[in-house]
Structure 1
Amino acid sequence: MGNITFVEHDGTQHTVVFEEGKSLMQTAIDNLVPGIDADCGGSCACGTCHVFVDPDWIASTGTAGDEELLMLDMTPEKMATSRLSCQVQTSVEMDGMIVHLPEFQM
Structure 2
Amino acid sequence: MNIETEDYKVIYDESASTVTFQGFLQLNGMTEYAPITDLLNGIADKTPPHIKLDLRKLELLNSSGINMISKFVLKIRKMETINMSVLGSEDVEWQDKSLNNLKRLMPNLQLEWE
**TM beyond 0.5:** no
TM-score by length of 2: 0.30
More contact order relative to length (CA 8 Å, sep ≥ 6): 1
The structure with the largest helix share of the pair is: 2
The structure with the largest strand share of the pair is: 2
TM-score by length of 1: 0.32
Flag the structure with larger Rg.
Answer: 2
